[in-house]
Amino acid sequence: MNSAASKPALVGIDWGTSSLRAFLIGAGGEVLDSIMSDEGIMHVPDRDFDAVFDRVVGSLPVGPGLPVLMSGMITSRNGWVETPYAQLPLGAERLAGSIVSHGTKTGAEVHFVTGAATEHKGGPDVMRGEETQIVGVAALGLTDGLFVMPGTHSKWVNLEGSGIANFSTYMTGEIFAALKDRTILGTLIEDGDYNGAGFEAGVAAGLEDSADLLHNLFHVRTLPLMEMIPKPAVADYLSGLLIGTEISAATQDVDTADHITIVGRSDLSDRYEIALRLGGFQNRHAPNDVVARGHFEIARYAGLIG
Amino acid sequence: MNSAASKPALVGIDWGTSSLRAFLIGAGGEVLDSIMSDEGIMHVPDRDFDAVFDRVVGSLPVGPGLPVLMSGMITSRNGWVETPYAQLPLGAERLAGSIVSHGTKTGAEVHFVTGAATEHKGGPDVMRGEETQIVGVAALGLTDGLFVMPGTHSKWVNLEGSGIANFSTYMTGEIFAALKDRTILGTLIEDGDYNGAGFEAGVAAGLEDSADLLHNLFHVRTLPLMEMIPKPAVADYLSGLLIGTEISAATQDVDTADHITIVGRSDLSDRYEIALRLGGFQNRHAPNDVVARGHFEIARYAGLIG
């Protein structure tokens, strides 16, 4: 347990598809303690969410009666309690107003954040969990502008003031894995260390022409066959091509002088940082654990924190 | 055997990755007989191409001494005899000038067409086999304009006169299969009959914005989840989205009033016809068996036909 600046005020849980993180949050919004588990919603035995919840919260140094707020895919159809999608624009206050409460088998009351939905020309976009991260980001003073949240399905979020004005989802990460595993491109890919030159060449090709991805993907095959890039560079060239294409599409209306904020820390967010720099975009990283700050803000607006 | 307008003059073989077709071609360029086999180059036991060749040609009603011309992936590194790539512009005469000859184990002399290569901003494009089909198309009088050859890797070819001026490869078919088999989209896909409404809605979304494919693919997930398209339509929506995106990208410089010629007959080429019509493009189909006509033209220029 970290040294605590204030007494525990809230348990916040970010419960996703493949893992969950539970935070003990102090009265000033700071993280006092946290636990990580690989019991994401797809890995909960017998879908017994109560059992996982009791065990996880029981392992935090938390007395009875502390409010609990959860966000993420735990609120989806395949989760514990399905919550509706809130419409945009959306900030802490509206999320607080649409919390869904639920009694556990052991008699505790827990609260769930709703997801967010919006509608584009081609169809709806949805998020569950990222809206809480964004609330945390905004509470830390990073308001207005464009935010990218790298992941299997990356999210690009427009903030106006502290509220989500618009967002889009890109399937880039999942498509990378499918192409690597299931196409002729995969047979060219050798395992190895990160190849920076290959990644940056791919990014450049993607940034150059995002409209021609289905064609550019064929070059991932011809470039090594013609010995124009070395085979150990192929995987990172493909990764760069996809991320560059995503950035080009997602920033069509963005001035290159604008700041773009990267939310989340991972090898993947390092790749986005490199690619954004190559595209001429200023970028900065949001702090870690912004989701806990989002739980705190929403709980405060909802009057859950005494 | 069909009724023959003239005596046999050539054996033409289109030997691809997954299958081969051998044609007995008459002195007027017409197909007298043909055989199909699933012994594509990836399915030749012990890579014994001689054995497959002897059996296939032996089953055609052909006397000894008839010239043999082959095209397709049989000329690739994984084939029988690797031939170089010819550069553009490229027609029957230049292909005839770069034929590679080879003696079989049983003493026959056989001839191989070269592939074609070109260079785009993002990397090289290559073809093996399609150049021979295009020669056949041109010999039938379909010169000048844009030609699409649907397939796992579809080709878009610009003809100037009878020569290939430029071409591009789109990995659309292979990407459809990988996304269907290996992403969360696949879990939404139900087997069933062709769903025309789903296909056409996908085409419209792809034609609308080819630069945003990585985002539009997420809608293949959200549209059925929000019950905006029925689940039996999902596979065809995905197919339409990819084909529409390809057509939009490949026709960036094309006047919608121009004719586009579809080469090849298959369920897939029917889909391209529907999608081209939705995009406002006039289109027409090339006749079947153009590859045999291509073999005939190249052999004639090469002096192989007596």
Q: Mean pLDDT over residues A174-186, rounded?
A: 89
Tens digits of per-residue pLDDT, B149-166? 999 999 999 999 999 999
**A1 band by pLDDT with thresholds 50, 70 and 90:** very low
Q: Mean pLDDT over residues A246-250, rounded?
A: 96
Chain B residues inside the 8 Å CB shell of A245: 213-214
Q: Mean pLDDT over residues A225-238, rounded?
A: 94
In the predicted structure, residue B23 carries a pLDDT above the cut 90? yes
> In a mutagenesis test of the A interface, which of B76, B218, B225, B237 is the best target, namely the one with the most A β-carbons within 10 Å?
B218
Kindly provide the residue ranges of all beta strands, DSSP E only, lying in chain B, ordered along the sequence: 8-15, 20-26, 31-37, 68-71, 85-87, 100-103, 109-112, 115-120, 123-127, 145-149, 154-160, 163-170, 259-262, 282-285
Tens digits of per-residue pLDDT, A114-139? 999 999 988 999 999 999 999 999 99
Question: Which residue in the set B181, B223, B242 is minimally distant from A123, CB to CB?
Answer: B223
In the A/B pair of chains, how many CB contacts fall below 8 A? 146
In the predicted structure, residue A250 carries a pLDDT above the cut 80? yes
Q: What's the rounded Cα separation, in Å, for the pair B270 and B279?
A: 14
- Residues 247-266 on B with a CB inside 8 Å of A are 248-250, 252
Tens digits of per-residue pLDDT, B212-227? 999 999 999 999 999 9
A126: which strand partners?
Answer: A117
Structure confidence at residue B186 (pLDDT): 82
User: Which residues are within 8 A (CB) of B195 and not within 5 positions of it... i.e. 6 or more apart?
Assistant: B230, B232, B233, B235, B236, B237
Tens digits of per-residue pLDDT, B229-248? 999 999 999 999 999 999 99
**Do B225 and A172 make contact, defined as CB atoms within 8 angstroms?**
no
Structure confidence at residue B306 (pLDDT): 73
Please give the residue of chain B at the shortest CA–CA distance from A229.
B123
Q: Which residue has the higher pLDDT, B32 or A267?
A: B32
**A286 band by pLDDT with thresholds 50, 70 and 90:** very high
Query: Do residues B39 and B18 touch, judged by C-beta distance below 8 A?
Result: no
Tens digits of per-residue pLDDT, B250-292? 999 888 778 899 998 888 999 999 999 999 999 999 998 899 9
- pLDDT mean across residues, chain A: 93
- Among the listed residues A189, A197, A182, the one whose alpha carbon sits nearest the alpha carbon of residue A221: A189
In the predicted structure, residue A209 carries a pLDDT above the cut 90? no
Structure confidence at residue A182 (pLDDT): 84
Question: Touching check for A169 and chain B: CB below 8 Å?
Answer: yes
Q: What's the rounded Cα separation, in Å, for the pair B80 and B68?
A: 14
Question: Which residue in the set B123, B178, B252 is minimally distant from A222, CB to CB?
Answer: B123
Give phi and psi for A262, each to the nearest 5: -95, 125
Question: Touching check for B174 and chain A: CB below 8 Å?
Answer: yes
**A254 band by pLDDT with thresholds 50, 70 and 90:** confident
Q: What's the rounded Cα separation, in Å, for the pair B114 and B299?
A: 13
Question: Which residue in the set B174, B213, B218 is minimally distant from A169, CB to CB?
Answer: B218
- Residues 92-131 on A with a CB inside 8 Å of B are 120-126
Please give the residue of chain B at the shortest CA–CA distance from A222.
B124
Q: Mean pLDDT over residues A176-204, rounded?
A: 90
Please give the residue of chain B at the shortest CA–CA distance from A241.
B122
Chain B residues inside the 8 Å CB shell of A228: 123-124
**A5 band by pLDDT with thresholds 50, 70 and 90:** low
In the predicted structure, residue B206 carries a pLDDT above the cut 50? yes
**Do A217 and B178 make contact, defined as CB atoms within 8 angstroms?**
no
- Residues 180-209 on A with a CB inside 8 Å of B are 181-184, 205, 208-209
Tens digits of per-residue pLDDT, A213-224? 999 999 999 999
Question: Touching check for A242 and chain B: CB below 8 Å?
Answer: yes
**Do B219 and A252 make contact, defined as CB atoms within 8 angstroms?**
no
Tens digits of per-residue pLDDT, B76-134? 999 999 999 999 999 999 999 999 999 999 999 999 999 999 999 889 999 999 999 99
Give phi and psi for B36, each to the nearest 5: -115, 145
**Do A219 and B246 make contact, defined as CB atoms within 8 angstroms?**
no
Query: Which residue is it, tokens 């990585």?
Result: B214
| Nearest-neighbour CA in chain A from B170: distance (Å) | 4
Chain A residues inside the 8 Å CB shell of B84: none
In the predicted structure, residue A54 carries a pLDDT above the cut 50? yes
**A90 band by pLDDT with thresholds 50, 70 and 90:** very high
| Nearest-neighbour CA in chain B from A141: distance (Å) | 28
The ipTM value here is 0.92
- pLDDT mean across residues, chain B: 93
In the predicted structure, residue A2 carries a pLDDT above the cut 60? no
In the predicted structure, residue A61 carries a pLDDT above the cut 80? yes
Please give the residue of chain A at the shortest CA–CA distance from B170.
A215
Question: Touching check for B73 and chain A: CB below 8 Å?
Answer: no
**A4 band by pLDDT with thresholds 50, 70 and 90:** very low
**B1 band by pLDDT with thresholds 50, 70 and 90:** very low
**Do B212 and A122 make contact, defined as CB atoms within 8 angstroms?**
yes
Structure confidence at residue A284 (pLDDT): 92
| Nearest-neighbour CA in chain B from A106: distance (Å) | 33
In the predicted structure, residue B4 carries a pLDDT above the cut 70? no
Pairing of strands B259-262, B282-285: parallel
**A62 band by pLDDT with thresholds 50, 70 and 90:** confident
Structure confidence at residue B5 (pLDDT): 63
Chain B residues inside the 8 Å CB shell of A209: 121-122
Question: How many Cβ atoms sit within 10 Å of the Cβ of residue A111?
Answer: 22
Instruction: Give me the helix-helix angle, B213-225 and B196-208, nearest 10°.
Output: 140
Q: What is the CA radius of gyration of chain A?
A: 21
